[in-house]
Structure 1
Amino acid sequence: MLDIYLTDTQQHVQFQDYPGDHPVKFILNFKKIFPSVMELLLPVLPSDDNLEEMTWEASSQDFEIFKLLLGGWGLVELRLTAVAQYKDRAYADQFVKKAQAKRKEHGKKNAKLSNVELDYLFLQDLHALIDADLVEIGEKFYLPTLREQWKGRVSDAVLNGTI
């Protein structure tokens, strides 16, 4: 369970909707996928340095973005599993590698983009790659749904990938 203090509303939230048993390990692994996670949820070490009792701080908006990233990655994993069943796992893994490379490219070309914006673009590029592949078997496009979920959280240029 993640014990999160929302700094703007001064509320404590206990968040359990994530895979795995150990929250610190989960966050460390999740930041490998989405580097902005360490900006969204700030760790607060307990006085005795016991990681089992670590808490986190975030604004309400940052916490909502974290939940969007978490839900977005869960859907990516489901879609990649479908691709792996249709083709194979190595083929599905190539989508992630291509989207990660494009994320780096976006970061180099657009130094003003935040990590959250780059993480959104990573998700968008990943879903676009999966959409293009799954359309062959009649699956509908997911990108309009993704854009609707993120509307108002990133700029319109980032939302539509026209940076």
Structure 2
Amino acid sequence: MFDIYLTDVQKNVQFKDYPGEHPVKFILNFKKIFPSVMELLLPVLPSDENLEEMTWESTSSDFEKFKLLLSGWGVIELRLNTIAKFKTRNFADQLVKQAQQKRKSFAKEQPRLSSVELDYLFKHEVHALIDAELVELGEKFYLPTLRELWKVQLKANVLEAKF
């Protein structure tokens, strides 16, 4: 369980909706997928440096973005598992690698994009690649749903990945 202090509303919240038992280990692994996580949730070490008692700080807005990234990754994993059954696990992994390359190219071409925007664009690209593969099975496109979920958080050009 995460203990998170929301600095803008001066409120403590507990967050339990993540895989695994160790929040610190989870966050360190999750930031490999979405680097912005370390900006959205700031670790606060206790005075005895016991990682079991670590707390986190965030703002309400940043915490909502973190939850969107987390739930969004769950959807991606489900869809990747479908691709792995339809094609192969290696093929699904290649889609993620392609999306990571696209994220890097966006970072290079659009240096003003924030890390959260780049993380969204990574998700956008993964879903676009999966949509292109699953359309053969009659699966609905997910990109409109993704854009709807993030429309309050991001500018329209980022939502559409059009620059």
Q: When the two structures are superposed, what TM-score results if normalisation uses the length of structure 1?
A: 0.99
Unaligned residue ranges in structure 2 (runs of 5+): none
Aligned-CA RMSD value: 0.4
Amino acid at match of 2:72: G
- 1:153 maps to 153
- 1:50 maps to 50
Does residue 7 (structure 1) correspond to residue 25 (structure 2)? The answer is: no
- 2:71 maps to 71
Q: Residues 135-146 of structure 1 correspond to what in structure 2 (within 5 A)?
A: 135-146=135-146
Does residue 125 (structure 1) correspond to residue 125 (structure 2)? The answer is: yes
Give % identity: 69
Q: CA deviation at 1:115?
A: 0.1
- 2:61 maps to 61
Q: Match of 2:21, SS?
A: coil
Q: When the two structures are superposed, what TM-score results if normalisation uses the length of structure 2?
A: 0.99
Q: Residues 84-123 of structure 1 correspond to what in structure 2 (within 5 A)?
A: 84-123=84-123
Q: CA deviation at 1:8?
A: 0.5
Does residue 82 (structure 1) correspond to residue 82 (structure 2)? The answer is: yes
Work out the CA distance in 2 between the residues paired with 1:6 and 1:39: 14
Q: Match of 2:47, SS?
A: coil
Work out the CA distance in 2 between the residues paired with 1:148 and 1:31: 24
Work out the CA distance in 1 between the residues paired with 2:134 and 2:2: 35
Amino acid at match of 2:112: K
Q: Which contiguous aligned blocks of 4+ residues in structure 1 show a shift greater than 6 angstroms? A: none
Q: CA deviation at 1:87?
A: 1.1
Q: Alpha-carbon deviations, 1:13-32, whole Å to 9, x = none?
A: 10000001100000000000
Work out the CA distance in 1 between the residues paired with 2:137 and 2:157: 30
Question: What is the count of residue pairs matched by the alignment?
Answer: 163
Work out the CA distance in 1 between the residues paired with 2:78 and 2:19: 14
Work out the CA distance in 2 between the residues paired with 1:150 and 1:44: 28
Work out the CA distance in 2 between the residues paired with 1:53 and 1:9: 22
Amino acid at match of 1:123: K
Q: Alpha-carbon deviations, 1:125-153, whole Å to 9, x = none?
A: 00000000000111000000000000020
Amino acid at match of 1:74: G
Q: Match of 1:18, SS?
A: coil
Work out the CA distance in 2 between the residues paired with 1:16 and 1:48: 24
Work out the CA distance in 2 between the residues paired with 1:126 and 1:105: 14
Q: CA deviation at 1:88?
A: 1.0
Amino acid at match of 2:136: E
Amino acid at match of 1:58: S
